[in-house]
A and B are shown apart, each in its own frame.
Chain A
Amino acid sequence: AQSVAQPEDQVNVAEGNPLTVKCTYSVSGNPYLFWYVQYPNRGLQFLLKYITGDNLVKGSYGFEAEFNKSQTSFHLKKPSALVSDSALYFCAVKDSGYSTLTFGKGTMLLVSP
């Protein structure tokens, strides 16, 4: 089975500070890992993905994520948060033996001015 956990319902950070949104996963094979962002009343938008290769993945809008196989984590990071980064963030995983993604419950990121 494949599963993904986002342990924080909400993350609060001040503008200009670094941010981290946590994600852990469980698969039996090799993981394919994704981050998506959802702005209010919109569909999800792709941020970045890890398939293979470098453990540090860079994505859209200055976001990056680090794949850590030993800790089965794929945390989303950004060095300096913007108020406009406030949104709902979803981590998703696909085991190499599965055909579809499993999404986490989402983490609401609130960046205060």
Chain B
Amino acid sequence: NAGVTQTPKFRILKIGQSMTLQCTQDMNHNYMYWYRQDPGMGLKLIYYSVGAGITDKGEVPNGYNVSRSTTEDFPLRLELAAPSQTSVYFCASSALGQGGAEAFFGQGTRLTVV
């Protein structure tokens, strides 16, 4: 059972470079989320989507973009990487909104911007 799959697992970027973090789920979940996790700070929501073609900003969206062309995929785009974007990024999905059903998380992408 694949669940939520994130690629890559690790990446080092130089300041100003761009990259896309990939996320795909095979559970036919409508809801998908991107979080970043910083030490001692918990998880902060970057963007979320309630279905294909619909995305919305979370708590910390600046410097990121997303798209949701299919139910399965929810890529996160970093434009002009900055050291402040060094973090661990998690993608998650749920069958219902977050009040109704638990979220399933990917294993994370550890990103370092130097």
Contacts and interface: CB of A to CB of B under 8 A. Distances in A.
Interface of A: 9, 32, 34, 41-46, 49, 51, 90, 94, 96, 98-101, 103-106
B107 A45 contact: no
Contact of B105 (A43, A99, A104): A43
A96 B98 CA distance: 10
A96 B97 CA distance: 11
Contact of B106 (A43, A51, A104): A43
B98 A94 contact: yes
B42 interface: yes
Contacts of B74: none
B79 interface: no
Given A42-B107, A44-B105, A103 B43 contact: yes
Contacts of A49: 102
A90 B102 contact: no
A81 B74 CA distance: 38
A45 B107 CA distance: 10
A74 B14 CA distance: 42
Contact of A103 (B4, B42, B97, B102): B42
B100 interface: yes
A43 B100 contact: no
A34 B33 contact: no
The listed residue with most A CB atoms (<10 A of its CB), out of B41, B43, B50, B105, is: B43
Contacts of B103: 44, 46, 101
Given A44-B90, A100-B58, A105 B99 contact: no
